[in-house]
């Protein structure tokens, strides 16, 4: 059993309390490799933001669970070396079983998500409670989910999306004891969040997505005053990256995300964790594709992964400074 406290990590409790009081959201960025971790940490150190490093079960399989844990431990030292001891959470994204959550808790994660959103309500309650009961023995915080996002949620996928039902949230939080709640108000995973027929088009022919259901968020906040709310599927799918990808051999059709103004508005509410993965994938892919096309003789990975990492860092700083409002919140 490895305690996250010995690794220099923190759980989400204090972080979320401050974020709700301060009207901002903590960035939860997914990572699978060293360049992503470096970009996340250097961006958050430079703009003085707390951060949640997220690991999906896919990331765990890709990068090796032990390596990822040491990388998170390394992230704490890396931040200190850069001169800022920012709070860092190591979080399991979309845990789909008690066993996976337990394994992460046992090896140093400070926070886990148990995603029972696709299960019948009572089964979601029972599974979430089982994870909470285990996690809380070690002061690890737990994110539950109610409502189903469109698209694929890691290994949890659903054909039919449905919004969170505000009338269920108090019962769910009370029965499970979870520390935060992911909700469904119209966000969705990936780079194609909406079908073109769900969108309108602006004068430039760019897809404009349907607005988020802030009415549902407000109702949830009324039911659970001050309780930490989480938004998944919150990439904005910057069209400049889509354009670079598509003009350098890529084929991303009808890619569309959540407008940044909507996320900024959500961050001022009880939404205190915003998950962003796809935008980072787009930034890296755009840079790598551009370098391959512009300089076909290049074969040193540092020469294309380095610029991709720089772009990623720029993107993350922008998110903290202009979208989530988390920049400048660490003294
Ligand atoms: O919500 C899912 C995250 O973007 C992680 O994706 O399962 O491909 O690592 P992944
Ligand atoms: P995006 O696909 O919108 O980046 O969402 C990421 C996410 O929710 C990770 O859990
Ligand atoms: Zn997610």
Mean pLDDT of the 132-148 span: 98
Give the Å distance between the CA of 232 and the centre of ligand 3. 4
Q: Which atom of ligand 2 is nearest to the CA of 30?
A: 9
Give the pair of three-digit tokens for residue 204.
């430039």
Residue 331 lies in a domain: no
- In DSSP terms, 231 is beta-bridged to 183, 274
Ligand 1, atom 6, lies closest to the CA of: 154
215 is catalytic: no
Residue 292 lies in a domain: yes
Task: Confirm if 281 and 236 have CB atoms less than 8 A apart.
Answer: no
Residue pLDDT, tens place only, 243-265 = 999 999 999 999 999 999 999 99
Q: Which residues line ligand 2 (CB under 6 A)?
A: 30, 93-94, 189-190, 232-235, 275-278
Task: Confirm if 85 and 106 have CB atoms less than 8 A apart.
Answer: no
CA dist 235 to 100, 118, 292, Å? 26, 22, 25
Domain that holds residue 60: 4-324
Residue 147 lies in a domain: yes
CA dist 10 to 50, 76, 278, 289, Å? 10, 10, 25, 37
CA distance 145 to 182: 4
CA distance 287 to 47: 23
pLDDT for position 205: 84
CA distance 41 to 51: 8
Residue 198 lies in a domain: yes
Residue 197 lies in a domain: yes
pLDDT at 39 over 50: yes
> What is the CATH number for 182?
3.20.20.70
Ligand nearest the Cα of residue 57 is 1
Mean pLDDT of the 8-22 span: 98
Q: How confident is the model at residue 79 (pLDDT cuts 50, 70, 90)?
A: very high
DSSP string computed for 216-273: HHHHHHHHSTT--EEE-S-----HHHHHHHHHTT----S-B---HHHHHHHHTTTEEE
Residue 330 lies in a domain: no
Residue 218 lies in a domain: yes
pTM as predicted: 0.97
Mean pLDDT of the 100-120 span: 97
Domains identified in the chain, total number: 1
Q: Give, for ligand 2, the residue of 53, 153, 180, 277 to mutate: max count of ligand atoms closer than 8 Å to Cβ.
A: 277
Q: How confident is the model at residue 154 (pLDDT cuts 50, 70, 90)?
A: very low
Residue 42 near ligand 1, beta carbon < 6 Å: no
Mean pLDDT of the 46-63 span: 98
Give the Å distance between the CA of 254 and the centre of ligand 3. 21
Residue 244 near ligand 1, beta carbon < 6 Å: no
Which conformational region is residue 287 in: left (phi greater than 0), alpha (psi within -120 to 50 degrees), or beta? alpha
Residue 329 lies in a domain: no
Residue pLDDT, tens place only, 298-308 = 999 999 999 99
Q: Give, for ligand 2, the residue of 189, 259, 312 to mutate: max count of ligand atoms closer than 8 Å to Cβ.
A: 189
pLDDT for position 164: 97
């Amino acid at each position: 059993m490895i305690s996250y406290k010995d690794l220099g990590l923190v759980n989400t409790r204090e972080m979320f309390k401050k974020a709700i009081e301060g009207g901002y959201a903590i960035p939860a960025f997914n990572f699978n490799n060293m360049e992503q971790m470096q970009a996340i940490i250097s961006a958050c150190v430079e703009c003085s933001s707390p951060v949640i490093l997220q690991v999906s079960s896919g990331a765990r399989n890709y990068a090796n669970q032990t390596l990822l844990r040491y990388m998170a431990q390394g992230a704490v030292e890396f931040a200190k070396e850069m001169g800022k001891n920012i709070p860092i959470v190591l979080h399991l994204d979309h845990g789909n079983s008690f066993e996976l959550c337990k394994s992460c808790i046992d090896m140093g994660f400070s926070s886990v998500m148990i995603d029972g959103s696709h299960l019948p309500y009572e089964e979601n309650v029972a599974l979430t409670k089982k994870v909470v009961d285990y996690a809380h023995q070690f002061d690890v915080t737990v994110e539950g989910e109610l409502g189903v996002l469109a698209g694929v949620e890691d290994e949890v996928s659903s054909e039919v999306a449905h919004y969170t039902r505000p009338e269920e949230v108090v019962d769910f939080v009370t029965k499970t004891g979870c520390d935060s709640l992911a909700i469904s108000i119209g966000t969705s995973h990936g780079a194609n969040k909406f079908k073109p027929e769900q969108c309108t088009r602006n004068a430039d022919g760019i897809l404009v997505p349907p607005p988020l259901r802030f009415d549902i968020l407000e109702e949830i906040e009324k039911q659970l005053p001050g309780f930490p709310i989480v938004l998944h599927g919150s990439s904005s799918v910057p069209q400049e990256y889509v354009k670079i990808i598509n003009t350098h051999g890529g084929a991303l059709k009808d890619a569309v995300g959540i407008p940044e103004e909507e996320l900024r508005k959500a961050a001022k509410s009880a939404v205190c964790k915003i998950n962003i993965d796809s935008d980072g994938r787009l930034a890296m892919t755009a840079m790598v594709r551009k370098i391959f096309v512009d300089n076909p003789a290049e074969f040193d990975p540092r020469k294309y992964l380095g610029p991709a990492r720089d772009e990623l860092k720029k993107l993350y700083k922008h998110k903290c400074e202009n979208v989530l409002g988390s920049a400048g919140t660490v003294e």
